[in-house]
């Protein structure tokens, strides 16, 4: 029994080990990071991987993705200092293929890859060659960007691009071919600052409905043998000796050719075709253009209308520059901001002025109102007081004074103050008059009641 249990336990342990090393081909994180050679072996167990595959900055020197055929996501390899070789003989499809800042990458091979939407390679200084399938793509390619590499040939790149094809700053690239017949609308082809590029084969193109820009190359001759229509934008800028467009008949967009070499034959042919109504549309053609050593813009000196052309290295070609007679965008923005600030300050000042005037009017209104008088102390308005000195009491009888031993008394506190009738002015409270009696030789008041003071009628 022990001999039978031992092998069973061993088999279970082996299964557990194998299961532990397995890779989830559709992880919840939708990402897989390659850090070691073992990670490369693990990902190769998936025929189809759903998610993005990235490589760590300290990843391995060699990565061979053998076994995986489809990546339903992106293959992004950026800033990996030691990566020297990247290849896959089985990979056929990937959404986006990005290589960026790989200083030691010298071998790149994906011979089966033909289905991708974007391919972006930047800053691969030692990469001299690449092997990508030359067959027809499995879907529409939206973008191909190859910038700052040491690639000498791109013969495999023969597909039309729906969006942008940018081949720039590749110092060792010597030739390029455009084998298809049209540059479609929405498509932009840019070849800029490829200093060793001596030949672009474009003789099969019959219509340019998108954009084509060629600048700062070593090309001396460009032959548009089949070109009939330009409905987009074409800008040619360089040291050309011969540019030929023998059957061009229609320009619905724009054609701008600037050369430091003598292309007078092209300019003359375009002028004759336009004057005889054979060629219709707008064009600029300038030969023997001088290039300033300070400002790398071209200014025509002989034929045609002077037009300044500034080459673009990685962007789509810009529209034909307009004469620079107006204000720059920075100056316009500064003026707009200054006007807004001045208007705001004026509005605040006017608001404060109106508020101050309103407060002043309120104060003046309050000062003009009469102050209420104290009815308990003064029953007569101030403006009705007679400034004349008071008169003594008059009586039809003789002048009466207080008898000796008598004292003047105030009104009894129980009596209420009453106002006189309007016909007689103001008087004190009414009280019965006490009869007068003699006291010695003087008339005195014989009553114990208080004396009443009467004032003359008003």
Determine, yes or no, domain membership for 297. yes
Determine, yes or no, domain membership for 351. no
62 and 176 in a single domain? The answer is no
Determine, yes or no, domain membership for 98. yes
What pTM value is reported for the model? 0.61
Rounded CA Rg of the chain: 54
Which CATH number do you get for residue 58? 3.80.20
Nearest to 120 by CA among 144, 137, 139: 144
Give 335's pLDDT tier (boundaries 50, 70, 90): confident
Q: Got the DSSP string for 305-340?
A: ----B---SSSPPPPPPPP--S--HHHHHHHHHHHH
- The percentage of the chain sitting over the pLDDT mark of 90, rounded to a whole number, equals 50
pLDDT in the model for residue 412? 56
Average confidence (pLDDT) over 29-47 = 95
The 10s digit of each residue's pLDDT in 370-411 is: 655 544 445 455 554 455 555 554 555 555 555 556 565 655
**Residue at which a domain ends, from 116, 151, 186:** 151
Which token pair is 78?
Answer: 């950026």
The 10s digit of each residue's pLDDT in 63-114 is: 999 999 999 999 999 999 999 999 999 999 999 999 999 999 999 999 999 8
Identify which has the larger pLDDT, 312 or 50: 50
Determine, yes or no, domain membership for 365. no
- Give the CA-trace dihedral at 309, 314, 316, 317, to 10 degrees: 10
Residues with Cβ within 8 Å of residue 128, at least 6 apart in sequence: 106, 150, 151, 152, 172
pLDDT in the model for residue 206? 95
Residues with Cβ within 8 Å of residue 357, at least 6 apart in sequence: none
pLDDT in the model for residue 341? 87
**Tokens 């034959």 sit at which residue?**
265
Give 14's pLDDT tier (boundaries 50, 70, 90): very low
Give backbone dihedrals phi and psi of 29, rounded to 5 degrees, phi first: -75, -10
Give 5's pLDDT tier (boundaries 50, 70, 90): low
244 and 262 in a single domain? The answer is yes
Which token pair is 440?
Answer: 């010695």
Determine, yes or no, domain membership for 219. yes
pLDDT in the model for residue 312? 36
48 and 130 in a single domain? The answer is yes
The 10s digit of each residue's pLDDT in 130-155 is: 888 766 676 789 999 999 999 999 98
pLDDT in the model for residue 317? 40
> In this structure, are residues 187 and 166 in contact, taking their beta carbons and an 8 Å threshold?
no
pLDDT in the model for residue 12? 44
199 and 314 in a single domain? The answer is yes
Whole-number Å distance between alpha carbons of 192 and 185: 21
Determine, yes or no, domain membership for 374. no
The 10s digit of each residue's pLDDT in 422-438 is: 544 444 445 454 444 44
145 and 251 in a single domain? The answer is no
Whole-number Å distance between alpha carbons of 341 and 334: 11
255 and 228 in a single domain? The answer is yes
- In terms of average pLDDT, the best of 186-190, 278-282, 312-316, 339-343 is 186-190
- The percentage of the chain sitting over the pLDDT mark of 70, rounded to a whole number, equals 66
**Tokens 């050593």 sit at which residue?**
293
Give 442's pLDDT tier (boundaries 50, 70, 90): very low
Give 362's pLDDT tier (boundaries 50, 70, 90): confident
pLDDT in the model for residue 37? 95
Identify which has the larger pLDDT, 286 or 435: 286
Whole-number Å distance between alpha carbons of 431 and 62: 132
247 and 311 in a single domain? The answer is yes
The 10s digit of each residue's pLDDT in 185-243 is: 999 999 999 999 999 999 999 999 999 999 999 999 999 999 999 999 999 999 999 99
Determine, yes or no, domain membership for 264. yes
112 and 169 in a single domain? The answer is no
Whole-number Å distance between alpha carbons of 283 and 269: 12
**Residue at which a domain ends, from 287, 319, 351:** 319
For β-strands 233-238 and 283-286, DSSP reports them as unpaired
Nearest to 147 by CA among 178, 123, 131, 118: 123
Boundaries of domain holding 286: 160-319
126 and 193 in a single domain? The answer is no
Average confidence (pLDDT) over 27-51 = 95
242 and 206 in a single domain? The answer is yes
Total structural domains within the chain: 3
Which token pair is 303?
Answer: 């034929």
For β-strands 290-291 and 298-299, DSSP reports them as antiparallel
Give 361's pLDDT tier (boundaries 50, 70, 90): confident
pLDDT in the model for residue 409? 61
**Residue at which a domain ends, from 298, 319, 340:** 319
47 and 110 in a single domain? The answer is yes
Determine, yes or no, domain membership for 431. yes
Whole-number Å distance between alpha carbons of 412 and 407: 14
Which contacts (CB < 8 Å, 24+ apart) does range 261-267 have? 261/220, 261/287, 261/288, 262/287, 262/288, 263/287, 264/288, 264/302, 264/303, 266/242, 267/303, 267/304
pLDDT at 4 over 70: no
Q: Is 430 helix (H, G, I), strand (E, B) or coil?
A: coil
170 and 109 in a single domain? The answer is no
User: What average pLDDT does the chain have?
Assistant: 78
pLDDT in the model for residue 441? 45
């Amino acid at each position: 029994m022990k001999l039978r249990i031992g092998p069973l336990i061993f088999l279970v342990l082996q299964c557990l080990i194998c299961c532990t090393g397995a890779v989830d081909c559709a992880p919840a994180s939708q990402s897989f990071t390659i850090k070691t050679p073992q990670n490369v072996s693990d990902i190769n167990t998936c025929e189809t991987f759903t998610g993005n595959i990235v490589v760590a900055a300290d990843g391995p020197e060699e990565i061979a993705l053998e076994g995986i055929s489809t990546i339903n996501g992106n293959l992004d390899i950026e800033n990996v200092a030691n990566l020297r070789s990247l290849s896959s003989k089985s990979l056929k499809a990937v959404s986006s293929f990005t290589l960026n800042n790989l200083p030691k990458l010298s071998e790149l091979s994906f011979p089966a890859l033909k289905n991708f939407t974007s391919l972006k390679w930047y800053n691969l200084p030692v990469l001299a060659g690449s092997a990508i399938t030359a067959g027809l793509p499995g879907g529409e390619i939206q973008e191909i960007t190859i910038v700052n590499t040491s690639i000498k040939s791109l013969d495999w790149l023969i597909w039309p691009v729906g969006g942008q094809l940018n081949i720039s700053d590749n110092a060792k690239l010597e030739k390029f071919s455009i084998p298809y017949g049209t540059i479609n609308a929405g498509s932009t082809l840019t070849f800029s600052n490829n200093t060793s590029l001596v030949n672009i084969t474009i003789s099969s193109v019959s219509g340019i409905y998108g954009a084509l820009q060629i600048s700062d190359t070593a090309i001396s001759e460009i032959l548009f043998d089949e070109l009939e229509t330009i409905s987009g934008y074409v800008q040619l800028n360089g040291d050309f000796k011969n540019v030929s467009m023998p059957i061009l008949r229609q320009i619905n967009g724009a054609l701008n050719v600037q050369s430091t070499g003598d292309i007078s034959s092209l300019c003359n042919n375009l002028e004759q075709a336009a004057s005889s109504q054979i060629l219709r549309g707008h064009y600029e053609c300038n030969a023997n253009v001088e290039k300033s050593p300070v400002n790398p813009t071209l200014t025509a000196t002989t034929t045609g209308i002077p037009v300044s052309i500034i080459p673009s290295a990685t962007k789509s070609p810009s529209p034909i520059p307009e004469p620079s007679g107006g204000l720059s965008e920075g100056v316009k923005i500064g003026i707009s901001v200054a006007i807004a600030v001045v208007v705001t300050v004026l509005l605040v000042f006017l608001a404060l002025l109106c508020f101050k005037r309103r407060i002043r009017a309120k104060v003046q209104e309050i000062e003009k109102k009469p102050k209420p008088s104290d009815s308990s102390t003064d029953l007569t308005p101030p403006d009705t007081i007679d400034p004349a000195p008071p008169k003594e009491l008059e009586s039809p009888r003789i002048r009466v004074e207080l008898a000796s031993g008598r004292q003047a008394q105030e009104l009894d506190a129980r009596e209420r103050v009453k106002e006189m009738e309007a016909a007689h002015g103001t008087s004190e409270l009414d009280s019965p008059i006490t009869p007068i009696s003699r006291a010695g030789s003087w008339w005195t008041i014989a009553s114990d009641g208080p004396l009443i003071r009467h004032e003359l009628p008003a």
